[in-house]
Amino acid sequence: MSFLSRRLYRAFSTSTAATAQATGNLESVFKDIYRERNLKRLVQKFKKSSELDRFRTKTGIYEETVRRLASAKRFRWIEEILEEQKKYKDISREGFAVRLISLYGKSGMFDHAFKVFDEMPDQKCERSVLSFNALLGACVNSKKFDKVEGFFSELPSKLSVEPDLVSYNIVIKGLCDMGSMDSAVGMLDEMEKKSLEPDLITFNTLLNGYYTSGRFLDGEKIWGRMEKKNILPDIRSYNAKIGLVEEMQTKGIKPDGYSFNALIKGFCNDGKVDEATNWYGKMRENDCSPDKLTFATLVPLYCEKGSFDQAFELCKEIFNRKCLVDEVLLQNAVDGLVKGGKVVEAKKLVQLGNSNSYRRYNLKIPTDK
């Protein structure tokens, strides 16, 4: 091996080793953050790790950390870690600013999201349709529906941007969430006039809005428009329909937990215990695991209708599956069992709540006052 070859080999080997070490170090940082249960220490570790350039390129760790803090309603700490990001050079990149806008929006902190958007020119950061869409998304996620249409009509001319398919889909989602279905369809019409082709997301949003609001004939019209455009429905499309499971099965589409939950919730809303129980059984037969929504829907109905044995069995299933549910759900079940004369069963739930290994619930037997 020549002298030059040896020099190149050593340089390459050193560079490769350094890269591998850095990757390993970053993975160690991620594991440490993911495993940290103390939220105050989590914030401290996140801020310290943000000093690493490569750390700031990883969107997933940002989303997971903010999600955890939002779930615990630690909004001040969300502000602390996200505002900290503005001191880095990355804030001049639109993609990084969009990340902050989106994270604030998902946390329901719209004013903070708008502030990031508003400050972008001062940070020498371009504002394109990408950040425009992020702001619209923050409106919808923060349930600031009154602002969506205003931003959509006013900002494009100010920013010299043209709304795209994503823009329209976000606005349609906001209008559907508001229950303004006619306005949402108006947006679909406007898209087509501007030669913007709606996609499956557009139609699924409208289908879900119509079917869940009971406007089934209007939903069928949207389904017809979707078929005319040769857009094939997916499992979410069928999930929006009443009687969707039977239709999916005849078409050879395997229903998922979301499908069964939609049906169970529909029957529970109508107070139909037997039908809801029947679909819960079919859910289990199809190897679909019940989740938080399943239990949160069925347990209150069973208690309300006096089906205390079924409520008790479902609550035991919650603990067997280590499913994280709201404490109030279990406490209401305990109260209902006691009221229904099932004191032994109620005490068993209190015991399970206080002694299980995955989450402690501070359940109590109600006392007569």
Dist. CA 201–CA 178, nearest whole Å: 18
Looking at residue 369, its pLDDT comes to 47
Alpha-carbon distance of 320 to 46, in angstroms, equals 34
Q: Which of 285, 291, 300 is nearest to 333 (CA)?
A: 300
Instruction: Bin 22: left if φ > 0, else alpha if -120 < ψ < 50, else beta.
Output: alpha
Residues in the chain, total: 369
Q: What torsion do the CA atoms of 293, 75, 147, 197 make, to the nearest 10 degrees?
A: -50
* The pLDDT of residue 2: 59
Residue type, position 269, single letter: N
Give me the sign of the Cα torsion angle 146, 148, 153, 155: positive
pLDDT at residue 71, as a whole number: 93
Q: Would you say 303 and 333 are in contact if contact means Cβ atoms under 8 Å apart? A: yes
Round to whole Å and give the CA distance between 102 and 128.
15
CB atoms within 10 A of CB 19: 10
Tell me the mean pLDDT per 10 residues along the chain, length 369. Answer: 56 44 71 92 95 94 95 96 96 97 97 97 96 97 92 94 96 95 96 95 94 76 91 80 63 77 76 88 89 94 93 95 93 94 94 89 83
Q: What is the pLDDT of residue 6?
A: 58
How far, in Å, CA of 351 to CA of 316, rounded? Answer: 11
189/212 Cα distance (integer angstroms): 21
